C-alpha cells in the first residue's frame, strides 16, 4: 500500500496562479486509503473521549462523520452564513482580501462536552481558529484540532497554539 501522501494530487495554479492546490479527491476514491486515514486519525486521538466531532464546511465533512461514527460521538457541521436554520453563533475571520463568516448551531454542544475539530487542510488557520471560538462560545472543550493535510509553511498551527494540533500529511 502507498503512503497517504501519494494519494494527494498537486494541481498547479489552482484556484489561482502561483498556488499549488492539494487535491484530496484521489484519496477519497480509494477505500483502502480512506480506511488508513481514519485509523491514523483515531491513533492520534489515543483514548481521549470525544462527545462531538465538528466538521468545517465543506471538505471537512468528508472525514468528520466517519470519525464521529467511530468515536460514537455526535457530528456538528460548521457552515457558511445562512445555511444553518436554527439559532447560531457567528465568527468572522480574515481572508487574504476581506472577511468571511462561519456559524454553528448554539444548541449543538452542551457545556463541558469534549470536542474534536476536523478539517481537510490546515493552511493559515483562519477558519480553524474561528471554529475554535465557535466551539468555546457553545461551552465545548476542544480536545484536538485534526487535519488530513497541513501546509506547514503557512504556519496555521501557530494560530492554534492553545490546542493540540495533528495532521496526517505535512508539506513544509
Please tell me whether residue 96 binds its own copies under the rule CB under 8 A: no
Rounded to an integer, what distance in angstroms lies between the CA atom of residue 73 and that of residue 71?
Answer: 5
Site string for its own copies, 101-140 (x = CB under 8 A): ----x--x--------------------------------
Cell output for 90 = 457567528
By C-alpha distance, which of 169, 171, 166, 163 is closest to 27? 169
Roughly how many angstroms between the first and final C-alpha of the chain, as a whole number?
Answer: 24
Identify the residue among 36, 45, 52, 131 touching its own copies (CB under 8 A): 52
- Please tell me whether residue 65 adopts helix, strand or coil conformation: helix
Residues of this chain that interact with its own copies (CB under 8 A) are 9, 11, 14-15, 21, 23, 25, 28-31, 34-35, 38, 52, 57-59, 61-63, 65-66, 68-69, 72-77, 82, 84-86, 105, 108
Amino acid at each position: 500500500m502507498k503512503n497517504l501522501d501519494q494519494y494527494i494530487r498537486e494541481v498547479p495554479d489552482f484556484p489561482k496562479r502561483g498556488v499549488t492546490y492539494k487535491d484530496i479527491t484521489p484519496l477519497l476514491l480509494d477505500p483502502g486509503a480512506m480506511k488508513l486515514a481514519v485509523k491514523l486519525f483515531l491513533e492520534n486521538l489515543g483514548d481521549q473521549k470525544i462527545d462531538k466531532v465538528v466538521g468545517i464546511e465543506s471538505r471537512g465533512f468528508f472525514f468528520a462523520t466517519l470519525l464521529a461514527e467511530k468515536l460514537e460521538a455526535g457530528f456538528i457541521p460548521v457552515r457558511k452564513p445562512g445555511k444553518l436554520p436554527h439559532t447560531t453563533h457567528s465568527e468572522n475571520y480574515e481572508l487574504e482580501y476581506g472577511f468571511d463568516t462561519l456559524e454553528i448551531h448554539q444548541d449543538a454542544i452542551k457545556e463541558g462536552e469534549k470536542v474534536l475539530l476536523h478539517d481537510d487542510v490546515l493552511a493559515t488557520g483562519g477558519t480553524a481558529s474561528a471554529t475554535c471560538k465557535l466551539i468555546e462560545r457553545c461551552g465545548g472543550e476542544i480536545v484536538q484540532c485534526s487535519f488530513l493535510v497541513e501546509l506547514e509553511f503557512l504556519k496555521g498551527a501557530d494560530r492554534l497554539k492553545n490546542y493540540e494540533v495533528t495532521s496526517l500529511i505535512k508539506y513544509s
